[in-house]
Amino acid sequence: MICAARFLEALQRHGVTDVVGLPDNASAALFALLAGGGGGVRLRTVSREGEAFALASGLWLGGGRPLVLIQNTGLLESGDGLRGTAMRMRIPLVCVITYRGHARMMRTLGGVPPARDAALLGRPDLDSVALLTEPTLDAWGVPHERLDGEGDLPRLHAAFARSEELGGPVALLLTCDLRAGEAAC
């Protein structure tokens, strides 16, 4: 679990001007903080995840430092926006992707499987999007790391540095929920 307020503080330290995306259960606490003012970080919601990459790219071109925040199901929907806009235009963009189905995949399979086939993708005890998340990012050439807990927040700094170095998108896969409230912080 990661405290949403600490996550927001990390974004502020890195000069993030806008968070662009769609909320899901894992990111809802951060979206609530941003909707309540966000300490100077603006919330930009979109109707589809593919729009997030185009909007974030435009914000970057305008001098902002946006962050895309979407679920892995939305990542699969947004492939053309990621490829055709952010990657093609060489936008140094950090994308935080909530990793739906990750915990079940780890419990059931003991990790990310080296191979996928129709039988594995069709298993009712697994969420196929978890099986496809990392291989999809690999196929698109998007570097990625996991955020498994609050101790991994320094990876946010590394992701911003790497996106600048590469001149392109870098992903952080959020395997836990962002939580609100004193108990999470």
Residue range of the domain that includes 81: 2-179
Give me the pLDDT at residue 114, please.
82
Domains of the chain: total: 1
Amino acid symbol at 151? G
**Residue 110 maps to a domain:** yes
Q: Does position 156 have pLDDT exceeding 60, yes or no?
A: yes
**Residue 185 maps to a domain:** no
Rounded-to-integer distance, Cα 151 and Cα 142, Å: 23
Instruction: State the CATH number of the domain containing residue 117.
Output: 3.40.50.970
Q: Does position 39 have pLDDT exceeding 90, yes or no?
A: no
Give me the pLDDT at residue 115, please.
86
User: Could you tell me what percent of the chain has a pLDDT over 90?
Assistant: 88
**Residue 32 maps to a domain:** yes
Give me the pLDDT at residue 182, please.
61
Query: Among candidates 155, 154, 147, 141, which has minimal Cα distance to 178?
Result: 147
**Residue 184 maps to a domain:** no
What are the b/e assignments for 160-169, b being 16+ CB within 10 Å?
Answer: bebbeeeebb
Average pLDDT over residues 123-150: 95
pLDDT digits (tens, 9 = 90+) for 57-80: 999 999 999 999 999 999 999 988
